[in-house]
Structure 1
Amino acid sequence: MEPSAENEMIAVRPGRVTLSDRRTRRSWPVDLAAYRLAACPVTQGAYAAVTGLRPGTAKGDRVPVEGVSWLDAVEFCNALSRQEGYAPAYALGSGEPGRPEAVAWDTSADGYRLPTEAEWEHACRAGTEGARYGRLDEIAWHRGNSGESIHDVGGKEPNPWGLYDMLGNVWEWCWDVYDAEVYGTYRVLRGGGWFDEPWSCRASVRRRSHPTFRIDDVGFRVARTVRA
């Protein structure tokens, strides 16, 4: 993959995806309008260019940024929106900082944001129906082939819609609350990471984390709403 493609935003077609929850054994369909999703997770270089910071332990401009919380990702989205002249998607509230419940999504804004869980899975599947969009070793860095370390984005084959690293390398933050009844403000993570067993790198697998936690196998990619 050419380095310039790291910042490419892919047009994702409208569609329907069925989500499921293991605890409640419930599944539900979600209809999606068109949107745009980054071809790759946000890299260390891109994150540093916007924030001046290089969090986490991995080094290199083309590795996915990791060690970033959900709140860090939200703030990055707003900063990138301002930098590129778009309306920020998130109102961060006032008062005590670091309160995820104070973050509000302005769905009318044209700025960068985190994908919803449904948007993420729809884009990951890219019209395929199996657990993965290709042979695992060809599309993802996981515990069996990563050498137990993170890798530059775009080193594996993309899915049919041109999205790289949707599975493996780093888990990705989504907008959604995981299960408010049981886990409060914990947010959804998707995709599997470089330290995960192969079974965990599937389009349907969900993980959760507190929105203030920073973990060395968790990053994110950005989305934008398509306006008519």
Structure 2
Amino acid sequence: FRMGSPKDEPGRYDDEGPRHEVIIRQGYWLFDTPCTQALWQAVMGKNPSRFQSPTRPVEQVRWKEVQDDFLPALNQRIPGFVLPSEAQWEYACRAGTETALYTGPIDLVGANNAPALGAIAW
């Protein structure tokens, strides 16, 4: 697949290019939901989230904490979990498309308004 975004894509950051071909040689699985606070609590014994609810995504955690503490503790119970690579993540998010969103291009209306996000992001 082609990873990255075109220079003229609205909302594009400089580190999202240049577009280049990527081959993912091994299949992988990706959760279709974020890590919940309930899962984090069960594995880590604490819930650092500001907005507490067992079914909400865990927040207030750093990437390093996930890599160094959470994943090793989770893998002691169920081996094989890793965070996806940048290529794996982008491939999954694009869902076979080459547009900014899997639902099509992103159209910005004003500084903080992207109507196409409403159906998929909130």
TM exceeds 0.5? yes
SS of 1:31's partner is coil
The counterpart of 1:137, out of the listed 111, 118, 122, is 118
Bigger RCO (CA 8 Å, 6+ sep): 1
**What's the % identity of the aligned pairs?**
39
The structural deviation recorded for 1:57 is 0.5
Distance 2:82 2:27 in 1: 14
Rg larger for: 2
The reply to whether residue 28 of structure 1 matches residue 13 of structure 2 is no
Give the gaps of 5 or more residues in structure 2: 6-12, 104-115
Q: TM-score, normalised by structure 1?
A: 0.41
Question: Could you list the runs of 5+ residues in structure 1 that have no partner in the other structure?
Answer: 1-15, 87-110, 142-228
1:27 offset after TM fit, Å? Answer: 3.0
SS in structure 2 of the partner of residue 115 of structure 1: coil
Structure 1 residues 3-38: Cα deviation after superposition (integer angstroms, max 9, x where no partner): xxxxxxxxxxxxx24135715953322211211111
Task: Provide the rounded CA distance (Å) in 1 between the counterparts of 2:16 and 2:52.
Answer: 40
Aligned to 1:82: 76
Q: What is the RMSD of the two structures over their aligned residues, measured on CA atoms? A: 2.0
Higher helix fraction: Structure 1 or Structure 2?
Answer: 2
Name 2:3's counterpart in structure 1.
18
Change (3 A) 1:17 1:50: farther
**Which SS does the other structure have where 2:22 is aligned?**
strand
**Amino acid in structure 2 at the alignment position of 1:124:** C
1:112 corresponds in structure 2 to: 81
**Distance in 1 separating the partners of 2:117 and 2:18:** 27
Q: Equivalents in 2 of 1:136, 1:79: separation in Å?
A: 35
The alignment status of 1:121 with 2:115, answered yes or no, reads: no
Residue of structure 1 in register with 2:43 after alignment: 50
CA displacement 1:115-153 (0-9 Å, x = unmatched):
111110100011122211234211112xxxxxxxxxxxx
Q: Name the structure where strand makes up a greater proportion of residues.
A: 1
Residue 173 of structure 1 corresponds to none
TM-score where L is the length of structure 2:
0.73
Equivalent-residue separation in structure 2 for 1:73 and 1:116 (angstroms): 14
Measured in 2, the distance between the counterparts of 1:118 and 1:23 equals 14
Q: d(CA) in 1 for partners of 2:96 and 2:17?
A: 24
Q: Structure 1 residue 113: deviation in Å?
A: 0.8
